[in-house]
């Protein structure tokens, strides 16, 4: 599992630029599914047909995109000005190593802020080592997107840190579920979605096109087990988190129970999750067409939307056990 995670977190895939990561995933799942297609938004849609013609269509969605910084201007001295793509935190972005898709490396820096002034994205710039605008523009173009650079490492016995754990850890989970899923009655549609970080845009059109009977988002959630952080009441290493509610959706209560029951049958630990903020692809799937029974299985994650997002491998295995049991 660690190698699979490393492969996926290291693939470039800023929000709206998911092509490379989708190609990596396509190669990994190809032998295990019946059809693979892409839509206009770049969603990678992998179908494993069920044995029962009247079986249900179950959509699982894990987003491929990763938050980043889009270049909006290049200064005379060669510094890049950027805007966020998705929910970038300023405090966690100061003096970080960032990378562009074409391999150009940079350091994102916060310039000194005047007294009384609130730090904002306009105070951030990227230094790519260029000595003037001409040199900078020979390296990158306006509209290129930088992301936190690859840095995947093990932390203690069971944990892994990397940027883009949100949501490549769920992509790894979904790939792994497809690899081990036997032929089942229901049709499973695995969607590796795009543009989640700017409002679940990929999942919205994917759900419309697929018309699932059930939709389950796979995503990270936050934690309440680090200093001064009590909510959500979710712990790393305590198992698969079944979402009850977040800012974007209220999970279908029947589906919540079915997922918790599947976890029990599979003998894996589960935790109930109520997140006071955030949202997942479930928010878009749920409101598709005439409405879809939807929910989220979450992987607890520390320091979400930073360059060091930490997960516990035991939670990923718990989610996998739960999902395989549910899909049976």
What amino acid positions are annotated as catalytic residues?
196
Q: Is 312 in the site for Co ion (CB under 5 A)?
A: no
Q: Least CB distance from residue 86 to Co ion, whole Å?
A: 7
Query: Would you say 104 or 323 has its CB closer to Zn ion?
Result: 323
Give the CA-trace dihedral at 37, 41, 44, 50, to 10 degrees.
-60
Query: Which one, 15 or 187, has the nearer CB to Co ion?
Result: 15
Q: Which residue's Cβ has the minimum distance to Zn ion?
A: 167
Residue placing its CB nearer to Zn ion in the complex, 81 or 168: 168
Site map (CB under 5 A) of Co ion, residues 230-269, x = contact: ----------------------------------------
Give which of Zn ion, Co ion, none residue 219 binds (C-beta under 5 to 8 Å, depending on kind).
Zn ion
Asked whether position 144 contacts Co ion by CB under 5 A, the answer is: no
148-177 residues in contact with Co ion (CB under 5 A) are 166
Size of residue set near Co ion by CB under 5 A: 1
**3-state secondary structure (DSSP) of residue 83:** strand
Instruction: Please name the residues in contact with 125: beta carbons below 8 A apart, sequence gap of 6 or more.
Output: 75, 79, 80, 81, 82, 108, 109, 111
Residue number, 166 or 273, with CB nearest to Co ion: 166
Residue 316 sits at φ, ψ, to 5 deg, of -65, -45
**Helix/strand/coil for 2:** helix
273 makes contact with Zn ion (CB under 5 A): no
In 3-state terms, the chain is what percent helix, strand and coil (to 5)?
30, 30, 40
The DSSP output letter for 249 is: -
DSSP string for 157-216: TTEEEETTHHHHHHHHHHHHHHHHPPP-SSEEEEEEES-GGGTSHHHHHHHHHH--SEEE
> Judged by CB under 5 A, which stretch of 21-29, 101-109, 202-210, 217-225 contacts Zn ion?
217-225
Tell me which residues touch Co ion (CB under 5 A).
166
Tell me which residues touch Zn ion (CB under 5 A).
166-167, 219
């Amino acid at each position: 599992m660690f190698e699979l995670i490393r492969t996926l977190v290291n693939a470039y895939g800023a929000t709206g630029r998911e092509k490379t990561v989708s190609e990596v995933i396509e190669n990994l799942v190809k032998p295990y599914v019946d059809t693979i297609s892409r839509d206009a938004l770049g969603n990678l849609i992998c179908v494993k047909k069920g044995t029962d013609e009247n079986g249900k269509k179950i959509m699982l969605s894990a987003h491929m995109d990763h938050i980043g910084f889009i270049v909006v201007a290049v200064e005379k001295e060669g510094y890049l000005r950027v805007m966020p793509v998705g929910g970038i935190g300023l405090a966690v972005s100061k003096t970080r190593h960032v990378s562009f898709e074409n391999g150009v490396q940079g350091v994102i820096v916060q310039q000194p802020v005047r007294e009384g002034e609130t730090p904002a994205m306009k105070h951030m710039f990227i230094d790519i080592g260029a000595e003037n605008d001409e040199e900078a523009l020979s390296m990158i173009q306006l509209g290129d997107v930088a992301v936190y650079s690859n840095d995947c490492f093990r932390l203690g016995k069971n944990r892994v840190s990397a940027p883009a754990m949100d949501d490549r850890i769920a992509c790894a989970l979904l790939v792994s579920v497809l690899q081990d899923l036997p032929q089942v009655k229901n049709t499973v549609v695995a969607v590796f979605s795009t543009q989640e970080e700017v409002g679940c845009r990929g999942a919205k059109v994917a759900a419309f096109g697929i018309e699932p009977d059930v939709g389950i988002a796979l995503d990270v959630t936050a934690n309440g087990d680090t200093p001064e952080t009590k909510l959500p009441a979710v712990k790393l290493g305590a198992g698969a988190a079944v979402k009850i509610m977040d800012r974007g959706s209220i999970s279908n209560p029947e589906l919540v129970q079915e997922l918790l029951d599947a976890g029990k049958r599979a003998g894996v630990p589960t935790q109930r999750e109520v997140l006071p903020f955030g949202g997942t692809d479930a928010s878009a799937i749920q409101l598709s067409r005439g409405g879809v029974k939807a929910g989220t299985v979450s992987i607890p994650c520390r320091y979400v939307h930073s360059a060091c997002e930490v997960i516990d491998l035991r939670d990923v295995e718990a989610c996998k056990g739960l999902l395989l049991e549910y899909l049976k």
